[in-house]
Amino acid sequence: MTARRSVRLLLIAVAWLLLAALPGAHLAAQHLSEGVRCTPMNERTGELGCWIITDQPLGQIGKSETFWHLDIYPTRADAERARQPGGAVVETFGKFWLLSIEDKNWRPIGGEHLADIGPLPVKAGEAYSAQYMEAIFTPGMTSSAHFHSGPEAWYTLSGETCLETPQGKQVGRAGGEYVIVPGGPPMHLTATGTETRRALVLILHETSKPPSTLVHDWTPKGLCKQ
C-alpha cells in the first residue's frame, strides 16, 4: 500500500511538472494566484498576457491635458514617414500602428485615423513617457491590483474589460466608450463578457516615476463580478 501511494504521488508530481512546462501555463497559475502583470515583449512566452511593446520618452507636456492618437498604415515605412518626435511606430495585431500623444485636432500625414482618446489629464510642464502594451485576456483573467504615475487608457479591438477603482467601476468594450483612468488611484482589471479581450494599452506616466506599482493596501470589492 505504501509503495502504491508513493508511485501515485510521484505520478502526480510529474504531471504538475509537465503542466508547468506547457506554453502559457505560468500565466494561468499567475492569474489564479495574483493576477497577470505586464512583461516586456522580448520575454513573451505565449499569446495570453500583457506585453510591453515600448516606453517612449516624450519630454515636457506644456498643457494640463493631451490626447492619444491611433493611426494605421499599410507598411512600417509609411508609418515612419508620418511619425513626429515622440511618436511610436509598432507592429501588433497584424497592423502597423502610429501612436502619438498630441493635441486633439492634430493629424498625421496619410494613414487611416482610428481614434483620438482623451482628454488625458497630466501635470503641465512635467516630463512624461508613453508606455504602450498589447493585452490579450480570456474572460475571467485579471490584472494584479496596481496604480500608475499618470493616466491609463486603452483601445479595445475585441472583447470587454471591467475596471474597478475605489470610485466604482467602468466597462470598456470594442466599439464603445473609451476608458480613461487618471494617475494615482488603485485599480483592478477583469476581462468580462464572452470574447477574448484584445487591446492596445497606454500608460502616460511621469518619466521620473515607474509606470506601474503594485498595490498591497487595497482590496477590490469584486464589482466586476456583479
Q: 118 pLDDT exceeds 60?
A: yes
Peptide bond into 74 cis (omega under 30): no
As a dihedral over the C-alpha atoms of residue 87, residue 152, residue 128, residue 101, rounded to 10 degrees, the angle is: 30
The pLDDT of residue 177: 87
Lowest mean pLDDT among 11-25, 33-47, 163-177: 11-25
Name the residue ranges covered by the structural domains of the chain: 29-225
**Percentage of residues of the chain with pLDDT beyond 70:** 85
Q: Which of 206, 215, 217, 220 is CA-nearest to residue 60?
A: 206
- pLDDT averaged over every residue in the chain: 87
**Percentage of residues of the chain with pLDDT beyond 90:** 80
pTM of the predicted model as reported, rounded to 2 decimal places: 0.83
Residue 13: enclosing H or E segment and its boundaries? helix 2-21
The pLDDT of residue 1: 45
Q: What is the pLDDT of residues 137-159, one digit of tens each?
A: 999 999 999 999 999 999 999 99
Q: 21 pLDDT exceeds 80?
A: no
Kindly provide the residue ranges of all beta strands, DSSP E only, lying in the chain, ordered along the sequence: 38-40, 49-60, 65-73, 88-92, 95-102, 112-121, 127-137, 146-148, 152-158, 160-165, 168-173, 180-181, 188-192, 197-206, 212-214
Fold of 29-225: Jelly Rolls (2.60.120)
Tell me how far CA of residue 60 lies from CA of 9, 83, 206, in angstroms.
60, 18, 10
